[in-house]
């Protein structure tokens, strides 16, 4: 017990440093985004890109991290893997929500409609639904809920390329599938900077959420230990 | 735990025996075939009442394929939730999992049995669609049968795992559909696209239908492999 104290303090310090760096990063990113050149046709509206695309990237990253954690849980019985899967799925739902809010806003301004059945819109929607399903399975799945959710994460990860491929073929090719590599040079730095900063925020939130889950598990263990001790002495 | 030696032949025999057991029970009660069949027919009718309008009294040709597959998906969840429901009675699942059979063979047997039952209902459902919407199912009846079989295998390969894991959940029936549908959307897409090309009343477009059929095969392979592989750890805690 006592030996865990310094490591707890150290990890708190590490977390604070991470948090401060991320906050500072968001400050710099907003300056960079503000100074980035305006897009020719969309103008100021295109700035949502620096917010929207990193969120979409984190939605995908969350799905694969969730599947990785579930793999460790299912096949190696790793509780840590299970916590990682749960926390990244939650973050995936959160960042997916950002994608689902910013996407239609941008679409309305750029294409005149809130939603089209475009490959990336549809794929991210399905991905988001799968992560919500993961959460539902965890919460309401009963005794087998954790393993059910883990299986769901595995299928979701196997599904990602299939969903993308099938929706792509279903709706025909999207005109600009290589948006990022065709970015104007002035937009590249702000974009990759905000991508890095959003990822850092994801990492900080993940660490924080996993810590909370870990503490909760410890608390349950301790409560059971106390109950056992009281039962023995009585 | 000492593992018994498993050969491919014995594995197939064990899977077949489990499938046979399920089909035998179903053959006696016919519960799933009747409830699923009735449900599927109702879904088709509900769509007819919702979509058919005006003087012509018909739906868009593309919609027939969609109606068929939506009916298969919705009624299929009824069949799937019953797949493992029977094992709950008298704790039959315990004996099944304690028997010296590889878990993957249990999965394969369950998959084969539930897909076979669903397929039987679908074979009866397709002529109903042909009659109601005068869809041209007969020129490519075998191909349509193949599509129904492939789509059903893809659907059941995921569904059997979820149904097994939901064995002890209270909100089993509500959750099964909610978790299953986002995962099997590619199967639905590929199957309904292929069917739509096949049933095109003007002239069936066979090239894209063939492409989507192949895509469906690839989907089935991926889903069955993930299923075979993850079934054991998923049911381990039972």
Q: Looking at the complex, does the CB of residue B97 fall below 8 Å from at least one CB of chain A? A: no
Structural contact between residues A163 and A196, judged by C-beta atoms closer than 8 angstroms: no
Distance from CA of B9 to the nearest CA of A (A): 26
Q: Do A155 and B223 touch (CB under 8 A)?
A: yes
The span from the CA of B148 to the CA of B45, in Å, is 20
DSSP A37: P
Q: What is the mean pLDDT of residues A108-120?
A: 82
Please name the residue of chain B whose CA is at the shortest distance from the CA of residue A160.
Answer: B183
Residue A159 lies in a domain: yes
A211-215, B51-55, B65-69, B77-81, range with the lowest pLDDT: B51-55
Residue A11 lies in a domain: no
**B38 by DSSP, 3-state: which?**
helix
Distance from CA of A68 to the nearest CA of B (A): 13
Mean pLDDT value across chain B: 87
pLDDT for the residue B3: 59
Break chain B into its structural domains and give their ranges. 11-235
pLDDT for the residue A181: 55
Residue A5 lies in a domain: no
Distance from CA of B66 to the nearest CA of A (A): 14
- The domain containing residue A161 runs over which residues? 25-174+183-233
CA torsion B78-B80-B86-B87 (nearest 10°) is -150
pTM of the model: 0.86
Q: Looking at the complex, does the CB of residue A130 fall below 8 Å from at least one CB of chain B? A: yes
Q: What is the mean pLDDT of residues A45-67?
A: 90
pLDDT for the residue B132: 85
Q: What pLDDT digit, counting tens, does each position of B54-73 carry? A: 666 677 777 888 999 999 99
Query: Residue A151: its chain B contacts at CB < 8 A?
Result: 161-162, 165, 230, 234
At which residue do the structure tokens 């381990």 appear? B236
Question: Would you place residue A15 in the very low, low, confident or very high pLDDT band (cuts 50, 70, 90)?
Answer: confident
Instruction: Count the domains in chain A.
Output: 1
Q: For residue A162, give the nearest of B167, B179, B186 by CB distance.
A: B186
Establish how many alpha carbons lie within 13 A of residue A151's alpha carbon, considering only the half-sphere containing its beta carbon: 34
Query: Residue B238: its chain A contacts at CB < 8 A?
Result: 144
Distance from chain centroid for Cα A34: 25
Structural contact between residues B83 and B160, judged by C-beta atoms closer than 8 angstroms: yes
Reading the block at residue A2, the tokens are 């006592």
Residue A88 lies in a domain: yes
For an interface test with A, give the residue of B81, B87, B175 to mutate (most A CBs within 10 A): B175
Q: Please say if the pLDDT value at position A174 is more than 60.
A: no
């Amino acid at each position: 017990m006592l030996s865990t104290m310094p490591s707890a303090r150290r990890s708190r310090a590490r977390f604070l440093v991470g948090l401060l760096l991320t906050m500072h990063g968001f400050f710099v990113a907003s300056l960079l985004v503000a100074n980035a050149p305006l897009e020719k046709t969309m103008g100021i509206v295109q700035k949502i890109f620096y917010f929207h695309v990193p969120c979409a990237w984190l939605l995908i990253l969350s799905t694969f991290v969730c599947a990785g954690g579930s793999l460790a849980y299912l096949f190696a019985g790793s509780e840590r893997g299970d916590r990682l899967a749960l926390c990244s799925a939650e973050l995936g739902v959160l960042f997916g929500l950002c994608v689902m809010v910013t996407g239609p806003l941008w679409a309305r301004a750029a294409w005149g409609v809130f939603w089209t059945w475009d490959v990336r819109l549809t794929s991210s929607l399905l991905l988001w639904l799968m992560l919500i399903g993961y959460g539902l399975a965890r919460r309401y799945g009963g005794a087998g809920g954790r393993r059910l959710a883990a299986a769901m994460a595995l299928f979701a990860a196997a599904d990602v390329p299939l969903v993308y491929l099938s929706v792509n073929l279903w709706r025909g090719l999207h005109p600009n599938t290589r948006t990022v590599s065709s970015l104007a040079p002035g937009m590249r730095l702000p974009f990759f900077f905000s991508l890095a900063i959003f990822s850092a925020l994801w990492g900080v939130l993940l660490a924080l959420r996993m810590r909370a889950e870990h503490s909760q598990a410890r608390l349950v263990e301790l409560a059971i230990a106390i109950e056992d001790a009281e039962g023995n002495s009585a | 735990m000492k593992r018994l030696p498993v050969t491919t032949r014995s594995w197939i025999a064990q899977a077949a025996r489990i499938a046979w057991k399920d089909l035998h029970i179903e053959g006696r009660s016919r519960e799933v075939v009747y409830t699923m069949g009735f449900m599927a027919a109702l879904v088709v009718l509900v769509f007819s009442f919702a979509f058919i309008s005006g003087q012509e009294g018909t739906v868009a040709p593309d919609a027939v394929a969609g109606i068929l597959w939506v009916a298969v998906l919705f009624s299929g969840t009824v069949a799937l939730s019953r797949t493992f429901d029977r094992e709950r009675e008298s704790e039959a699942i315990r004996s099944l999992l304690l028997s010296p059979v590889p878990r993957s063979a249990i999965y394969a047997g369950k998959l084969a049995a539930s897909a076979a039952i669903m397929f039987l209902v679908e074979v009866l459902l397709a002529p109903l669609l042909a009659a109601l919407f005068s869809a041209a199912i007969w020129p490519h009846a075998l191909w349509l049968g193949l599509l129904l079989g492939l789509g059903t295998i893809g659907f059941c390969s995921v569904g059997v795992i979820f149904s097994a894991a939901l064995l002890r959940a209270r909100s089993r029936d509500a959750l099964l559909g909610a978790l299953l549908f986002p995962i099997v959307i590619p199967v639905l897409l590929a199957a309904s696209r292929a069917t739509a090309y096949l049933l095109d009343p003007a002239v069936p477009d066979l090239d894209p239908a063939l492409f989507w059929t192949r895509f469906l095969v690839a989907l089935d392979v991926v889903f069955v492999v993930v299923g075979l592989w993850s079934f054991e750890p998923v049911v381990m805690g039972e």
